[in-house]
């Protein structure tokens, strides 16, 4: 179910958002939602090059596997 969000922003930012939404032929709400989704995907997931770099680094993979095993066994301190 959709939620309503009230947001307070500076007039200049509002105008910029409106202009970008217009350029993409979107309403303001849809533009903001799409921009937020893109941002979250960018910071939460790796791109193809990062994935190749990670999978190509055997030392890193070994450390990640050890950390995962330690976490599953309740060892270590997580911060």
pLDDT beyond 90 at 58: yes
Task: Say if 2 falls within a structural domain.
Answer: no
10-14-44 Cα angle (round to 5): 95
Token pair for residue 19? 């202009």
- Calculate mean pLDDT across residues 57-74: 92
Domain hosting residue 34, numbered range: 11-44
Task: Say if 70 falls within a structural domain.
Answer: no
pLDDT beyond 80 at 79: no
Task: Say if 55 falls within a structural domain.
Answer: no
- pTM for the model: 0.58
Per-residue pLDDT reduced to its tens digit, 6-55: 999 999 999 999 999 999 999 999 999 999 999 998 888 888 898 899 99
Q: What DSSP state is assigned to residue 76?
A: S
How many structural domains comprise the chain? 1
- Whether residue 21 contacts residue 30, with contact meaning beta carbons closer than 8 Å, is answered with yes
What's residue 47's pLDDT? Answer: 83
CA distance 28 to 18: 6
Task: Say if 57 falls within a structural domain.
Answer: no
What's residue 76's pLDDT? Answer: 80
């Amino acid at each position: 179910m959709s939620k309503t969000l009230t947001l307070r922003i500076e007039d200049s930012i509002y105008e910029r958002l409106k202009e970008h939404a217009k350029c993409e032929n979107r309403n303001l709400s849809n533009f903001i939602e799409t921009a937020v989704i893109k941002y979250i995907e960018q910071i939460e997931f790796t791109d193809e090059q990062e994935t190749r770099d990670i999978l190509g680094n055997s030392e890193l993979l070994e450390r990640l596997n050890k950390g995962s095993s330690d976490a599953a066994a309740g060892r270590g301190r997580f911060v």
